[in-house]
Copies of this chain bind each other. A is one copy, B any other.
């Protein structure tokens, strides 16, 4: 094929037609390389042949529970789902205009946005390798649109570096590549890597560094039209006799290093889960929870607070009360098997007779906290003034990040920013603020990046996950050692009970983990049920 590569003749081009042998060999090579076996989710579940009259109780109408309920009903089981809230979908949840809720501590959180604006308090983006999510979304008719994670025009910001001025992500990326390439070229050119790189590779390496780092003929990374072609100009090329373009200034390596902005890139952009292309459901992430709920509607009993889970040799009896009247009548439901999708934060407070190792596993997974603040502004100033369409800004201020909406871009009127989102220690502090204070704090910090904040602010809302009564936290935290000790036990079927949810997955905090866990729990429970007959 080599001959035909650079500038094939007409005859060479045509000679390709009809050559088919290569393609078959190629196809085999490709499948061997794993194109088709790259996922833990290889095919749709198609469970069949539930024992006659077999029943399942699912506790919790989150995505893990509903996935199991959906698949087990298809297999022929009679399935009932108990849900604490008056809605299904769990953390797959969107706050829409007019919504409100009461958090632990009694704070009332409102969402007084304009019609059509929304805020994802929980999950908000989908990597394109989250196959199970997309499988069910396609099946359930949930429409997708691209979620812009990487926007090179968004910012990196450090309060005490570059005079507090935000730097364009694309500039920082270009400049890091440039400085690294310059340094490595220098090392290669003085021969200090001759033992690691042979002569032939050395030439190709230098050529690559020159192109990738946009180095000049002396292998230096400098302010120039050449580097501006990559990082952008201070005055962009124009038409006719408009002013000449002017190069933008490269950021010095030492300031870049001292700022710590580099870490924002490898913590947020190069990780596989944030690679483009990413997606979001049209209308908010809650559309996924809504779709699962709709598909499982007939099975779900809402406002059911589980108080006791008692299994014996022939089944599982679940006691529950009306979650709006917990001192009222205790109801019970009995089934042959139980899929428990209740977060461990809450499950560990419920009377449940599982084995001692399972109890230990359930107690071994603490939940991370997290806070999110949504800020609605009268106009989309980030687009109109700063030409930022989607993407994220990362900062070392306690708001941690600002995310620009990937929907309704170029539209006139209001828009909603994710104005603060973080985990860990700062999150616990954010949790101590009242709903109003969270908004005020997010505005006060955020205006250091976007001075338009005070003038354009319209309304705010928030979710601090440790105050959400039905989860008491954001997601299960696993360490390498807790995985080794407890994960298999937590996921195993304990007599007649199996747990499901993101906490029973290797993808905690992601909906994909919850769904895969639900699929796996359904599959194994079905196998056991068929065996026992």
Contacts and interface: CB of A to CB of B under 8 A. Distances in A.
A517 B430 CA distance: 52
A157 B415 CA distance: 41
A187 B192 contact: yes
Given A38-B236, A387-B128, A231 B26 contact: no
Interface string A323-356: 0000000000000000000000000000000000
A208 interface: yes
A390 interface: yes
B193 A257 contact: no
A30 B192 contact: no
Interface in A384-435: 385-387, 389-391, 396-398, 406, 409-410, 424-426, 429-430, 432-433
Given A36-B385, A272-B170, A515 B239 contact: yes
Nearest to A391: B277
Given A146-B146, A275-B152, A500 B454 contact: no
B513 A4 contact: no
B129 A17 contact: no
B519 A451 contact: no
Given A193-B186, A440-B17, A524 B241 contact: yes
A444 B398 contact: no
A105 interface: no
A275 B170 contact: yes
B29 A387 contact: no
A19 interface: yes
Given A16-B445, A257-B201, A387-B129, A180 B152 contact: no
A36 to B, nearest CB: 7
A263 B180 contact: no
Interface string A206-218: 0011011010000
Interface string A439-452: 01101110110010
B276 A234 contact: no
B7 A425 contact: yes
Interface stretch (A70-78, A89-97, A117-125, A502-510): A502-510
Interface stretch (A159-167, A284-292, A293-301, A457-465): A159-167
A205 B236 contact: no
Interface residues of A, number: 161
Counted per complex, copies of this chain come to 2
Contact of A10 (B1, B138, B432): B432
A10 B249 CA distance: 39
A55 interface: no
A148 interface: yes
Contacts of A263: 208, 211
A41 interface: yes
Contact of A152 (B20, B267, B276, B519): B276
Interchain residue pairs A-B with the least CB separation, the first 7: A239-B516, A240-B520, A40-B238, A237-B506, A239-B517, A192-B192, A187-B187
Interface string A165-195: 1100010011011001101101110101100
A151 B10 contact: no
A104 interface: no
A276 to B, nearest CB: 5
Interface string A255-271: 00110001101110011
Contact of A5 (B397, B406, B437): B397
B180 A385 contact: no
A82 to B, nearest CB: 21
Interface in A11-29: 13-14, 16-20, 22-24, 26-27, 29
Contacts of A426: 6-8
Contact of A180 (B184, B201, B432): B184
Contacts of A211: 262-263, 266-267
